[in-house]
Amino acid sequence: MLSNEDIKRVIEAGQLTISPLDPKSIKASGLTMHLGDLLLKPLPGKVVDVKNGVAPDYDEITIADDKPYTLMPSEFVLGHTYETVTVGASLGFFIEGRSTLARVGLTIVQTAMLVYPGHSNRAITLELANHGPNPILLYPRMKIARVALFELRTASSERYDDAGKYRDQGVVGRPIFKDEILKR
C-alpha cells in the first residue's frame, strides 16, 4: 500500500493523475474522493437479463449545493466521483467507502472496488446504497470515498482503456452486458 509520500511520488512521476487534486485529499495511506453531481436511479419494471442484454432504465438526477438528493433507506443509485482519474500500468487502485458514512448506512461500492491499470481520464462510477434506517442527503463534492493504492510487481501489459467495456461511457456508467455467460 502506498503512503502519502509514495502517492505524491507517483503523481509527480505521472503514474497517477487526479483532477482536480486538492493536496489535503492525500492522506497517510490513501486519497479522499468526492461525489460528482450526476446520479442515475434505476427504474423498476424490468427483469434484468445479463444473457440477453436487458438492463433497467434510469432517471438522471443532477444534484446541487442547494438541491441535494435524499437517498432513502434501501434505495440504490449510481453516482460518480467529482474527480477524474488516470491510473498507470504499474499501479493498483482500490476505492472504498468512508467509515463516517458507513456508520449511517451508506455504502458507495457494492463489489466493483478495483479500478484497473489504464483507466484513463474519467470519473469512477459509484454504487451508492442506503442500508441504514434514515434518509441520507447527497451533496455534490461531499467526501464520499477513500482510495488505497499499491504498486504492481510488474507493470500490467493490458490497459483497461484498450479493451474495457466501460471506457467510452459518459460520467456515470450504466451496466453493459457483454460476454456475461461462459461459452461451452
Instruction: Report how far apart, in Å, the C-alpha atoms of 174 and of each of 57, 115, 179 are.
Output: 9, 16, 16
Which are the catalytic amino acids? 127
Find all residues with CB under 8 Å of 135, minimum gap 6, and list them.
70, 71, 72, 73
CB 121 within 8 A of CB 167: no
Look at residues 83, 82, 86 and name the one whose alpha carbon lies nearest to residue 16. Answer: 86
Find all residues with CB under 8 Å of 154, minimum gap 6, and list them.
none
Q: How many helices (H) and strands (E) does the chain have?
A: 3, 14
Q: Coil, strand, or helix at residue 25? A: helix
Q: Coil, strand, or helix at residue 101? A: helix
